[in-house]
Amino acid sequence: MTDYTDTARQILATNDRGGYTVPTDRLYPFQWNWDSAFVAMGFATYDVPRAYRELERLIEGQWADGMIPHIVFHTPSDTYFPGSSVWRTHHSIPTSGITQPPVFGLALKRVHDTAISQGLTDTRRRSRILYNAALRWHRWWYAARDPENTGLVALLHPWESGSDNSPAWDIALARVSTTTETTVARKDTGHVDAAMRPHDEDYRRFIHLVDTYAACEWHPERQWAAAPFKVAEIQTTAILLRSGEALLEFAREFGLDSDAQQLETFNARSRSALLAQWRPQLRRFVSRDLISGDDINAPTQACFCPLLALDLEQTMLEAATAEMNDWSDGLSVLFPSTQPTYSGFEARRYWRGPVWAVINWLLMDGLQRNGKDAMAEKLRRSTVLAIETKGFAEYFDPLTGEGCGGLGFSWTAAAYLWFLE
């Protein structure tokens, strides 16, 4: 075990709050949905029972309709805004009212496969409970967020993408009012340099959306009708499809034929919908703004996430990877969350340019799936070097390599452990 591996494990231990892991102390003092899925895969490299526990604690927050919220507020903390009282949800354990990228199914499969390879007891029972929760969530995604069966699932809040202030939302979010019923009392800028975080105006819009959906009592159909922000999103759909493939393997292994049939239908629909979002002249995939009906042409990391769940034909693959190489030219760390030559690029501001280890993890998976092993290896080495040079930061400046945002970050530690496997 290297010193860095040891540090990564220590970070996960320090951020453990009793079977679940906070992303980092104070800035994010609760359990976050997709963070926990990545963290579970990190734990799977050395402590599989703890990896299961991470996922089990997350589904304590699952709603009756199947939605798994983006935050589970297991224990109170006053270091974060918006806390549970802003969300006004009605779950027995306080949660937020929106969701986050469904990495869960993919994580569960990896935890399960590791448990099987180690011959651990109780594996099938634990996996089966988590599989049921994941399938209920996938059904929720397709019912609540794709009511017209297009195959692309929609986000009603930028936070649901995990890429909060991405340039991808600039046009769609500008339509959302900056007025709020809730007082916006940010805490994040007390923990992290404001120049690395979203602007106040973004926050007013984020909270306007929370107020709007709380007024709908978080009812999916009322939210769908009231939503001033509605984006059919390719990164989320790709993750959902990749997790859907994992769930299909479970359904077959467990002999659950009708589940398998339903998952095949979901997966086939999303696969063809994602493929239809390819734009040859841009050499990338695009999301769609469902309110204007327009393509979202802002160049972000999401444009390459469909590789995760698609087996691309050669021309498309060569074009997408050539585009990725162009974006990477001259950078200290790969892969930027926004194309560096784009007007909206900001090297240190959260999702407007910085490199995120977990995005690299998804991109690497997609590149490997499509036979681009050398490029995946380039991303892996770049991420490992950034972490070993600058520490386990939340994200990295692609121009200078500087570690930015929160420090001692759980998902960066988890990614490091996975990358060293």
Query: What amino acid positions are annotated as catalytic residues?
Result: 164, 394
* DSSP element (H, E) containing 146: none
Q: Which is nearer to ligand DGY, 158 or 244 (CB)?
A: 158
Number of other residues whose CB lies within 10 A of the CB of residue 8: 27
* Binding of ligand DGY by 351 (CB under 6 A): no
Interface with ligand DGY, residue 233, by CB under 6 A: no
Report which of 97, 103, 101, 66 is spatially closest to residue 82, judged by C-alpha positions: 97
Number of H helices, E strands in the chain: 16, 10
Tokens 């579970």 belong to: 40
Q: Which of 9, 50, 70, 283 binds ligand DGY (CB under 6 A)?
A: 70
| 106 vs 207, beta carbon nearer ligand DGY | 207
Residue given tokens 């049939």 in the structure block: 261
Measured torsion, CA atoms of residues 160, 163, 169, 175, in degrees rounded to the nearest 10: 50
Q: How many residues sit in the footprint of ligand DGY (CB under 6 A)? A: 4
Rg, C-alpha atoms of the chain: 20
Out of 164, 233, 397, 402, the only residue in the binding site for ligand DGY (CB under 6 A) is 164
What is the pattern of x (binds ligand DGY, CB under 6 A) and - over residues 101-140?
----------------------------------------
Chain residues 177-206 in contact with ligand DGY, contact rule CB under 6 A: 188
Least separation in angstroms between residue 249's CB and ligand DGY is 30
Residue 288 binds ligand DGY, judged by CB under 6 A = no
Please report how close the Cβ of residue 157 comes to ligand DGY at its closest, in angstroms.
9
CB of 139 to ligand DGY, least distance (A): 23
The yes or no reply on residue 159 touching ligand DGY (CB under 6 A) is yes
Rounded Cα–Cα distance for residues 80 and 191 (Å): 10
| Nearest distance, CB of residue 158 and ligand DGY, angstroms | 9
| Burial group, residue 43, by CB count within 10 angstroms (0-12, 13-18, 19+) | buried
Q: Which of 341, 28, 312, 48 is nearest to 159 (CA)?
A: 28
**Is there binding between residue 411 and ligand DGY (CB under 6 A)?**
no
The three-state secondary structure class of 355 is strand
Question: Between 70 and 91, whose beta carbon lies closer to ligand DGY?
Answer: 70
208 contacts ligand DGY (rule: CB under 6 A): no
Considering the complex, state which of residue 70 and residue 372 has its C-beta at the smaller distance from ligand DGY: 70
CB of 70 to ligand DGY, least distance (A): 6
Burial of 46 (0-12, 13-18, 19+ CB in 10 A): middle
Q: Which residues of the shown chain bind ligand DGY in the complex (CB under 6 A)?
A: 70, 159, 164, 188
